[in-house]
Structure 1
Amino acid sequence: MALIDKLKEEQKLAMKAKDKIRLGTIRLAMSAIKQREVDERITLTDDDIVAVLTKMVKQRRDSVAQYESAGRQDLADAESNEITVLKEFMPQALTDDEVLQLIDDAIIASGAQSMQDMGNVMAVLRPQIQGRADMGKVSGLVKSKLT
């Protein structure tokens, strides 16, 4: 089943269950997907949709950190609930060992020798890891391996 179809089906189920938080989050995701389709005049693939969802999760993580530092735990909890719903539609997260193995394979495949080759390594990794691991964390691991 295509990811967009799964989102639509879950939206219907959330409406029937009167789950306002889940319904609102799915509607936000559908809106972001539709906006990108309209802006770029394309139909998004599952990989493109995962990229949109990944961006939404990252935005919410940043918001949680800001709300917590401002002492607004109620807003931080609301953002955390949205993250939980969005993660249901993303691919299974990679374990730390799997990420390290993919980094090692990418370094070998790209022939990287130093930090100057980091862009090449990340270009190999991005399609394999998109939506399955935190790219900031992966970037730090790649840096540590190349230095």
Structure 2
Amino acid sequence: MITREAKKRREAAEAFAQGGRAEQAEREKAEGEVLAEYLPKQLSDEELQQIVAQAVEEARAAGAEGPRAMGAVMKIVNPKVAGQAEGGRVAAAVKKLLAG
């Protein structure tokens, strides 16, 4: 729940900043920072890449190839990164490794 609220604050701050409402953007950003203090430490890009790379290897070893590989990798990665990386960030890392 805190993760969702922190994300809402970040998105609202971006929207206010783009709309030229700097004061409201700063208020939303400050609230988001307070909420973020209660969240687990987020994984660095390097840490996330390592976890995803291991999961890709596991999924391929289990025979997951092509479009099925995305779901198989996500099933392996999600429990390992729960609360430490946003789903969109995880999915982007998986897609990048599967594509190249």
Secondary structure of 2:73's aligned partner: helix
- CA distance in 2 between counterparts of 1:53 and 1:88 reads 10
1:75 and 2:27 are equivalent in the alignment: no
Q: For 1:122 and 1:54, how far apart are their aligned partners in 2?
A: 19
User: Counterpart amino acid of 1:127?
Assistant: P
2-structure distance, mates of 1:58, 1:71 = 20
Aligned partners of 1:61 and 1:109: how far apart in 2?
34
Q: Deviations over 1:29-85 (max 9, x none)?
A: xxxxxxxxxxxxxxxxxxxxxxx1111111112111111111111111111111111
Would you say the 8 A contact 1:115–1:146 is kept in 2?
A: no
Counterparts of 1:1-147 in structure 2, within 5 Å, are 52-111=1-60, 112-147=64-99
Measure, in 1, the Cα distance between the counterparts of 2:10 and 2:66: 31
- CA RMSD in angstroms, aligned pairs only: 1.5
Structure of higher CA gyration radius: 1
Supply the distance in 2 between the matched residues of 1:97 and 1:65 (Cα, whole angstroms).
26
Identity of aligned residues (%): 32
CA distance in 2, matches of 1:114, 1:145: 12
Q: Do the aligned partners of 1:92 and 1:132 also contact (CA within 8 Å) in 2?
A: yes
- 1:33 equivalent in structure 2: none
Per chain length, whose mean CA-contact separation is higher, i.e. which structure has more relative contact order (CA < 8 Å, sep 6+)? 2
**Per-residue CA distance 1:78-126 (angstroms, 9 max, x = gap):** 1111111111111111111110000011112223432332122112212
Q: TM-score, normalised by structure 2?
A: 0.83
Q: Give the secondary structure class of the aligned counterpart of 2:47.
A: helix
In structure 2, runs of 5+ residues without a counterpart are none
Letter in 2 for 1:119: G
Aligned-partner SS, 1:92: coil
- Structure 1 gap segments, 5+ residues each: 1-51
- With normalisation by structure 1, the TM-score equals 0.59
